Amino acid sequence: MHRGEATHCPYCALQCGMYVSGGLAETSDGSLTITPREDVPANAGALCQKGWTAAELLTGGDRLTTPLARESRSGPLVPVSWDDALDRVAAAIGGIQAEHGRDAVAVFGGGGLTNEKAYQLGKFARVALRTSQIDYNGRFCMSSAAAATGRAFGMDRGLPFPITDIAAADVVMMVGGNVAETMPPFLRHLRNTLIVVDPRETRTARKAALHLRPAPGTDLALALGLLHIAITEGHADQDYVDSRTTGFEAVRASVATWWPERAERITGVPVARMREAVHLLGSARTAMILTGRGAEQHAKGVDTVTAFINLALALGLPGRPGSGYGCVTGQGNGQGGREHGQKADQLPGYRKIDDPAARAHVAGVWGIDPAELPGPGRSAYELLEALGTPGGPRALLVFGSNPVVSAPHAGHITGRLAALDLLVVSDFVLSETAAMADVVLPTTQWAEEHGTMTNLEGRVLLRRQAVAPPSGVRSDLAILSGLAARLGRDKGFSDDPGTVFDELRRASAGGVADYSGITYERIAAETGVFWPAPSEDHPGTPRPFLDRFATPDGRARFTPVDHGPVAEEVDEAYPYYLTTGRILAHYQSGAQTRRVPALNEAAPETFVELHPDLAERLRVTSGDMLRVSSRRGATEAAARVGTAIRHDTVFMPFHWEGVNRLTNPALDPVSRMPEFKVCAVRVERCDAGPPSDRRAGVPERGLGV
């Protein structure tokens, strides 16, 4: 029986295996069928509703099939030929750089691009454009965990163990992750005792044996209280600490004042529940601590993740079979996308761009002088904020991202995009960002091209072409090749993914993320290969920390951290906390899922989730229209009343334009991650003025769960 072409889902970092069959070659109407694969451990025969409906992305009626351009800045987008579109872009880039310098042109990438595209995009920026101004939306997703794990373990890999190991853990603590909605097949790996840390009673929390509900922005204080309990009540594994770590005594001293009652006052989590959580983790034969975006998307996200890593190290979990610490990566190629050059400070193989040896190696592969490589550029939000300003970029090329919806303080960023001399967007639909562009380049979709993805385990997978692309669209690799040739780089920018991957292997060789031993043939034969794999006869590295960590002395690093307030506290004018996240039917900015009828029917519009106590105070019932305002902007949405949320907090999903007009761009000092997860807001009925007493219901920080 022919099940179709074996490939992978276009959405989250599980990268669930699926078969795609049908198309005009096999059916009269060109319809496509999705069937789950059982040979991919991440999903093992399961798919979520997004995966089941993924084929509809390929046949949507609003699919772009010809380039679009404006004859004037105020004119409409009209169809143009590919040569015309690419000529216009190249000519505009040349003129802008001649007048304003190389860094006047910037590139913004995405965590959903294949490894080949991410690699080629980084190379294009540094070799064809010779600009330092490149970053990507993964800075909004995984950067805090990447910085924290790199600091602690010497390596950033989301899960430093196969996902199937999670099923063997007796106890799993999930901090700020809602996998029941973001990646439902993940649930099959959560078979034993589950502890969830989340301000909301999410679908994942409802499956937990223990749910800790800290006030938004207080996860770090909770972690410090948990570590204090672990140390003072005999749960620390001193043999492990002595043999496999450094820095414990400094951390022990730093948490001495974090007695659980202090943590309770700040977080609202009862001491008894903290003790229960530590007892479950500390007495288990095997245990894991996993963090997600809820712990990371803060102006102190690196320290928050570090605090949970410290807890895991004190309990003796990382590097032990069946135990460990890991980060649940969100975007489809969030792992690989940051390994090969999209980040402002990195070169392929997870090399630092300011490291002379790294520059020499990569420049040698690229056939240029190391002196030609630019230095580090601006991080994602700082790059977007600088657009169109004096000394900032005058042009932006966007691949695989929709910052009009996804960036914090989105109204401000939309204004910065409008101030550009040139905005070019490569996309398959007219997203909110593409609708602002001067030139729109229609690109192939997930099942229409070959390429590799690296899932949340660090397993490199092969996404095979399953169907022919529509006439008139080109791959991102072909777009970059065409632009590079017009910019004087007619060699070194192949549009063939296999050729690009072979070059990526050479560029990554010897780096932390070493792909040099991985080939398309190996991936197909082995259902994925774990990096690092430094040679073709190397088996890959599913569990890199069993014998030693990737630090110079092989030991994991404890790092003292301390809690501080959120960047924006509630006050009389803005008395409630806003937190954001995903829901089951949609993905990221919604540019894909909002175009799938079944998913749009399941969740057709945004909403404001609020507690019944707050709803009563505001005289609101479910369905009433609310206006939610912050110091940066306002948006309107229907109320959804329920006890899943704390009474001092409202929740909004980020799949629609609006909520990120409210969010705070305060940045983590290390990762440059914005504080998406908490800001101060005012909530009002759209048909009434604000409540007479805005102070009503403003609790002490963390109290009244």
pLDDT at 691: 41
- Report the pLDDT value the prediction gives residue 625, as an integer from 0 to 100: 97
DSSP single-letter state for residue 438: S
Structural contact between residues 421 and 439, judged by C-beta atoms closer than 8 angstroms: no
User: Which residue among 328, 363, 383 closes a domain?
Assistant: 328
The Cα–Cα gap between 540 and 100 comes to 46
Residue 633, CA distances (Å) to 336, 605, 637 in order: 34, 19, 14
Domain match, 117 and 28 both? no
Distances (CA, A) of 311 to 46, 271, 290, 315, 607: 33, 17, 11, 6, 36
pLDDT per residue as tens digits for the range 200-259? 999 999 999 999 999 999 999 999 999 999 999 999 999 999 999 999 999 999 999 999
Whether residue 128 sits in one domain with residue 29:
no
Instruction: With respect to residue 568, please indicate whether it lies within any of the assigned structural domains.
Output: no
Question: Do 167 and 292 belong to one domain?
Answer: yes
Distance separating alpha carbons of residues 164 and 187, to the nearest angstrom: 11
pLDDT (0 to 100) of residue 588:
87
Residues 608-617: tens digit of each pLDDT: 999 999 999 9
Chain Cα centroid distance, residue 103 = 26
Residue 154 lies in a domain: yes
* Strand 193-197 to 459-463 pairing: unpaired
Domain identity same for 364 and 305: no
Whole-angstrom Cα distance, residue 150 to residue 172? 22
Q: Which pLDDT tens digit goes with each residue over 366-391?
A: 999 999 999 999 999 999 999 999 99
Q: What is the per-residue pLDDT for 2?
A: 58
Rounded Cα distance, 364 and 354, in Å: 16
pLDDT given at position 3? 78
Count of other CB atoms within 10 angstroms of residue 637: 21
pLDDT of residue 272: 98
Pairing of strands 664-667, 674-675: antiparallel
Distance CA 207, CA 194 (A): 7
Domain of 289: which CATH number?
Answer: 3.40.228.10
- Examine the domain organization and report whether 182 and 244 are in the same domain: yes
208 and 192 in a common domain: yes
Q: What angle, 0 to 180 degrees and rounded to 10, lies between the N-to-C axes of helices 497-508 and 356-366? A: 150
The DSSP call for residue 129 is I
Q: Of 328, 354, 388, which residue is a domain's last?
A: 328
Q: Which domain holds residue 38?
A: 5-59
Q: Give Cβ neighbours of residue 106 (< 8 Å, ≥ 6 apart).
A: 131, 133, 134, 377, 383, 387, 393, 395, 396, 397
197 and 231 fall within a common domain: yes
CATH code of the domain in which 615 resides? 2.40.40.20
Q: Which of 286, 267, 195, 276 is nearest to 229 (CA)?
A: 276
Count CB neighbours of 458 within 10 A: 28
CA distance 54 to 11: 9
Query: Is the same domain home to 202 and 278?
Result: yes
Among 118, 503, 139, 530, residue whose Cα is nearest residue 340: 118
The C-alpha atoms of residue 109 and residue 97 are separated, in whole angstroms, by 20
Considering the domain architecture, whether residues 133 and 155 belong to the same structural domain is answered as no
> 354 with 241, same domain?
no
Same domain, 412 and 500: yes
Contacts of 80-88 with C-beta under 8 Å, sequence gap 24+, read: 82/474, 82/482, 85/439, 85/441, 86/479, 86/482, 86/483, 86/486, 87/486, 88/439
Amino acid at 139: R
Q: Is residue 483 part of a domain?
A: yes
Distance between CA 179 and CA 32 in Å, rounded?
Answer: 27
Count how many residues are written for the chain: 705
Domain stops at, among 59, 77, 99: 59
Query: For residues 188 and 163, is the Cβ–Cβ distance under 8 A?
Result: no
Q: What is the model's pLDDT at position 141?
A: 85
Amino acid 30: pLDDT: 61
**Is residue 559 in a domain?**
no
Q: Is 28 exposed, middle or buried (0-12, 13-18, 19+ CB in 10 A)?
A: exposed
What is the tally of structural domains in the chain? 4
In a domain, 597, yes or no: yes
Q: Within this chain, do residues 309 and 432 fall inside the same structural domain, yes or no?
A: no
Burial class (CB in 10 A: 0-12, 13-18, 19+), 673: buried
Residue 455 is assigned to a structural domain of this protein: no
CATH number at residue 21: 2.20.25
Q: What is the Cα–Cα distance from 129 to 488, expressed in whole angstroms?
A: 10
- Print burial letters for 381-406: b (CB count within 10 Å at least 16), e (below 16): bbbbbbbbeeebbbbbbbbbbbbbbb
Q: What CATH number is attached to the domain comprising 391?
A: 3.40.50.740
Low-confidence ranges of the chain (pLDDT < 70): 1-2, 23-30, 688-705
